[in-house]
Amino acid sequence: MNKPLVKRRIRQFFARVNYYGIGYIFDYLGAYVGFKRKETAVERKMKLYPTLEGKEMERELGKLYHATTGDKVDFKAPKTFTQKIQWSKLYDRDPLRTTLSDKLAVRQWVADKIGEKYLTPIIGVWESFDDIDFTDFPQKFALKCTHGTACNIIVEDKEKFNVLTAKEKIDKWMNTNYAYFSFELQYKDIKPRIIAEEYMENAGKDLYDYKFYCYGGKAKYIQFLSDRKRELRMAYFDTNWNKLPFVHDHPMITENLPRPDNLDEMIMVAETLSVGFPYVRVDLYRLDDGTIRFGEMTFTPAGGGQNFTPPFADMLLGEDYIINR
């Protein structure tokens, strides 16, 4: 048993109860038995966020960060990676962050920078789910909303695709402003749209995801993800493909992972796209034939709420993140 980790998890749990109220306990327990209240404690708290401005927003974000991680953030002198992400949410107001967080608008910007060959072909774009005609869709495809995070539906067999269930999900996503999940304000003014992309996969029906942590146009770390359909696992590497001894929130991949033969090209793509930003995570996919596909540009990964194991990684990843006041 990892006693420091257990103590940290307990501290985080009580920090969340303190922030969200006693209802958080009912929601936490309900998740294990498949019960969900009409409005959870988290959803109730989120209604407050759009009403806040200035220092009120900073104070609330500080409370949210403490509830998420069990730690505190000093907005005047943030030190760790996750603390600097919190600072950037409120004070890095570069409008390009909004353009590049829009999953449709970013495509033209990427094409101009590195060429269209790195883009996943799209089937169509719509402003309403009701406008989509699935008749001529391929058997496999991906549906995504353009204005948020984690709003994707991966369809592996169109014959088994439940249109009504998909509509219910996407209609809810289309009426959600993702800026107010955790003050990721770059999402605030993105126009909600739906895109359908060609389906991608690696062997074993997996999809290998390479996330490049870039600082001022220089890639420093690579986060590799796999096993999304079973239990998501990860590993961190430096740009020479030396494995690093930390993860966050998910198990570490223990087996040896061979260095991609076109890793240098992937690094070139990530660094070209990251020029001019103090920090951005550039997400790429690599298919079995070596094809590289652009995923997204992420300025506030996981809302800066990662729980790194061991904790020193939070400081390490923040060292090269030079915030521009």
3-state secondary structure 206-242: CCCEEEEEEECCEEEEEEEEECCCCCCEEEEEECCCC
Please indicate, yes or no, whether residues 134 and 185 belong to a single structural domain of this protein.
yes
Please indicate, yes or no, whether residues 320 and 223 belong to a single structural domain of this protein.
yes
Please, what is the Cα angle at 319 between 314 and 320, to 5 degrees? 125
CA 222 centroid distance within chain: 15
Please indicate, yes or no, whether residues 24 and 68 belong to a single structural domain of this protein.
yes
Residues 269-321 pLDDT 10s:
999 999 999 999 999 999 999 999 999 999 999 999 999 999 999 999 999 99
Provide the pLDDT for residue 4. 66
Tokens 């719509």 label which residue? 126
Provide the pLDDT for residue 120. 97
Taking phi over 0 as left and psi of -120 to 50 as alpha, with beta for the rest, 101 belongs to: alpha
DSSP annotation of 183? T
Given 167, 198, 229, the domain boundary residue is 198
**What is the separation, in whole angstroms, between the first and last Cα of the chain?**
42
Please indicate, yes or no, whether residues 183 and 149 belong to a single structural domain of this protein.
yes
Which has the closest alpha carbon to 113: 99, 125, 93, 123?
99
Provide the pLDDT for residue 37. 87
Is-cis flag, bond preceding 310, omega within 30?
yes
Distances (CA, A) of 193 to 55, 121, 145, 198, 315: 32, 17, 6, 17, 37
Amino acid at residue number 84: K
Tokens 């490049």 label which residue? 212
Determine the Cα–Cα distance for residues 35 and 38; give it in Å rounded to an integer.
Answer: 10
Q: Which helix (H) or strand (E) holds 286?
A: strand 280-286
Alpha helices in the chain, H assignment, sequence order: 3-20, 23-33, 41-46, 54-69, 81-91, 96-101, 105-114, 163-174, 179-182, 263-274, 312-318
Please indicate, yes or no, whether residues 299 and 210 belong to a single structural domain of this protein.
yes
Please indicate, yes or no, whether residues 194 and 84 belong to a single structural domain of this protein.
no
- Contact, 153 vs 142, CB < 8 A? yes
Please indicate, yes or no, whether residues 129 and 90 belong to a single structural domain of this protein.
no
Please indicate, yes or no, whether residues 11 and 83 belong to a single structural domain of this protein.
no
Determine the Cα–Cα distance for residues 10 and 287; give it in Å rounded to an integer.
Answer: 40
271 burial type by CB count under 10 A (0-12 exposed, 13-18 middle, 19+ buried): middle
Provide the pLDDT for residue 184. 97
Provide the pLDDT for residue 2. 61
- Per-residue pLDDT for the chain (325 aa), expressed as one digit of tens each? 466 667 778 888 898 999 999 999 989 999 888 888 889 999 999 999 999 999 999 999 999 999 999 899 999 999 999 999 999 999 999 999 999 999 999 999 999 999 999 999 999 999 999 999 999 999 999 999 999 998 999 999 999 999 999 999 999 999 999 999 999 999 999 999 999 999 999 988 889 999 999 999 999 999 999 987 778 899 999 999 999 999 998 999 999 999 999 999 999 999 999 999 999 999 999 999 999 999 999 999 999 999 999 999 999 999 999 998 7
Given 147, 168, 198, the domain boundary residue is 198
Provide the pLDDT for residue 308. 94
Q: Which helix (H) or strand (E) holds 194?
A: strand 194-198
Cα dihedral across residues 248, 252, 253, 259: positive or negative: positive
Please, what is the Cα angle at 282 between 120 and 224, to 5 degrees? 90
Provide the pLDDT for residue 325. 72
Provide the pLDDT for residue 35. 86
Please indicate, yes or no, whether residues 223 and 177 belong to a single structural domain of this protein.
no
Strand, helix or coil for residue 191: coil
Residue ranges making up the domain that contains 66: 3-77
Which has the closest alpha carbon to 274: 105, 119, 113, 79?
113
Please indicate, yes or no, whether residues 8 and 156 belong to a single structural domain of this protein.
no
Query: Are β-strands 218-226 and 194-198 bridged in parallel, bridged antiparallel, or unpaired?
Result: unpaired
- Contact, 119 vs 107, CB < 8 A? yes
Is-cis flag, bond preceding 251, omega within 30?
no
Provide the pLDDT for residue 3. 66
Please indicate, yes or no, whether residues 177 and 253 belong to a single structural domain of this protein.
no
Please indicate, yes or no, whether residues 215 and 90 belong to a single structural domain of this protein.
yes
Query: How many domains does the chain contain in total?
Result: 3
Distances (CA, A) of 156 to 17, 20, 137, 159, 171: 39, 38, 12, 9, 21
